[in-house]
């Protein structure tokens, strides 16, 4: 693989949280004067960037921190019910054997992630779990991870399911694998020009750095 460090997003990449997230959002929406999201709307929403999504739902950026904080707290009560992405449990041990640094960077809460990993018997594979309280704060954290583990940017790969994950990686100057089994659609991810575009967890095992392919 030739990547010393593999760093994963959580929601939509490792954990299938989409429907639970929609349910929690719909619980919170009336209190913020927002409309609820119906299941049939999700496919159209998958084509949108974060800013486009907030605009479509009429969510002010000022409300995002509160929604995120309350939503992650409510999600904690459901962690034991959340399934892992099909196929991911099988590839994680193999990917871990190939990398020196193996972590998670998420806008979810670290407590939620650790609960999920414990439920699925995967916590021992990960060297760290890191969280950013901002939906758009991952680039800064990726740079900090590079410094913490004394990595060259070419040796790092971030793996995520959203356009914002691709943009954060590009801003941090590292490679990114965009996975199509999460929130954003394949077409929208492709337009963001990730280093790799993957359709199944098993594809992760075949990755090569572009300069070493």
Active site residues: 9
Residue 130, class by beta-carbon neighbours within 10 Å (0-12 exposed, 13-18 middle, 19+ buried)?
middle
SS3 of 123, please? helix
Closest CA to 87 of 176, 194, 204: 204
Contact by Cβ (8 Å): 192, 178: yes
SS3 of 48, please? coil
């Amino acid at each position: 693989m030739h990547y010393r460090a593999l760093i994963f997003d959580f929601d939509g990449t490792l954990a299938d949280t989409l429907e639970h997230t929609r349910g929690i959002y719909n619980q919170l929406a009336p209190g913020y004067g927002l409309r609820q999201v119906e299941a049939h709307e999700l496919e159209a929403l998958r084509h949108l960037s974060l800013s486009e999504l907030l605009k479509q739902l009429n969510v002010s950026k000022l409300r995002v921190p509160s929604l995120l904080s309350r939503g992650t707290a409510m999600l904690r009560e459901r962690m034991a019910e959340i399934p892992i992405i099909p196929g991911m449990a099988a590839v994680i041990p193999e990917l871990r054997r190939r990398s020196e640094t193996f972590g998670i960077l998420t806008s979810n809460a670290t407590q939620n992630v650790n609960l999920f990993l414990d439920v699925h018997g995967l916590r021992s594979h990960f060297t760290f779990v890191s969280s950013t309280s901002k939906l758009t704060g991952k680039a800064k954290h990726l740079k900090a991870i590079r410094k913490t583990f004394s990595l060259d940017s070419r040796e790092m790969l971030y793996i995520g399911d959203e356009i914002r994950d691709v943009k954060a990686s590009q801003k941090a100057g590292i490679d990114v694998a965009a996975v199509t089994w999460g929130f954003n659609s394949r077409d929208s991810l492709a337009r963001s020009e990730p280093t790799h575009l993957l359709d199944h967890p098993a594809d992760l095992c075949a990755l090569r750095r572009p300069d070493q392919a």
